[in-house]
Structures are given as structure tokens and as C-alpha cells.
Amino acid sequence: MEIKPATIENAENILALQRLAYQSEAAIYDDFTIPPLTETLESMKSRFHDRRFLKAMEGGQIVGSVRAYQDGATCHVERLTVHPDYRRRGTGTALLNWIENRFACGCGSGVGRFTKALRPSLGGRGRHYHHERLAEAACSHVAFWDG
């Protein structure tokens, strides 16, 4: 598996993966209106100017993705997405590690804390965003999906 920056040309594939991956979360909470399922291609493409998108590649296919942005000393991690067939194989961890290393070392003054986006109606129980290392990092603030 290879982690590399995604480009706007990857948006359509990332959106399709996102819609597939978030079906399980939507089913658990019986809510198919969550932002990862209702986001449009145009909306996703508009995020490429202010977010850093990554993709996890396996056999020429995108099997995972995440996006993040820095606001001062905080890195906001959004839409961690892993293909259902590639879960529990380290894909999400690899994506989060890349974000953590890149933002902590390669962006200006660095990052002092990381946030994870959770859906308010889930009471902080967003399955795709629970990551032990991210939760244990200096994650003292939780950002909410903005749609």
C-alpha cells in the first residue's frame, strides 16, 4: 500500500469510496443523511484549495482517503475513509500517521494538537474517526462536521 497526495482529479473516485465506506456508519445510526453520504462532487472539489487530501493506493485503486487542514497550531482531520474490504489492515492508521507526521513537521510552526471530526448527533461516537493514537495525542478539541 502506498500513501500519496490526492489531486482534484481523484475527487470522483474518493467521493465514490466515501459513499461506500460510510454506508455502514449510516446503517448503525439509521441516518443516511450524514455529510459523507450527501456531499456533492462540486463541494468536495471546492475543498481541494484549503484541505490536504491523501489517498491510500493498492493495486492501482484508491482504497482509503483522508483530508486535513491546519488552523494555527491545530490540525483538523476530516473524512477518514477506508474501503470496507481494506479495514483492519492498517490503512486508516497509515493515513493518520502520514497526516500526523506531515503536519507536525512540515507545516510552518508545526501543530500542537490534532482534532477529529465527529457528528454531533452521534454524541462523539463516530466509528470511522475513532483512532486510539489520534485520541491519545494532544486532541483536546473536537471539531464537528460542517457538511
Domain enclosing residue 107, as ranges: 2-144
Which backbone phi and psi does 32 adopt, to 5 degrees? -95, 20
Q: What's the structural domain count of the chain?
A: 1
Transcribe 58-120 into DSSP letters: ETTEEEEEEEEEEETTEEEEEEEEE-GGGTTTTHHHHHHHHHHHHHHHHSTT--SEEEEEE-G
> Is the model more confident about 121 or about 39?
39
Q: Is the pLDDT of residue 117 over 80?
A: no
Distance of CA 62 to the CA centre of its chain: 14
Q: How confident is the model at residue 100 (pLDDT cuts 50, 70, 90)?
A: confident
Task: Assign 122 to helix, strand or coil.
Answer: helix
pLDDT confidence of residue 106: 46
Nearest alpha-carbon partner for 114 in 128, 87, 96, 127: 96
pLDDT confidence of residue 75: 80
Distance CA 86, CA 111 (A): 29
Residue 121, number of CB atoms within 10 A of its CB: 12
Q: Mean pLDDT score of the chain, rounded to an integer?
A: 77
Distance CA 20, CA 113 (A): 30
Look up the CATH number of the domain holding residue 76.
3.40.630.30
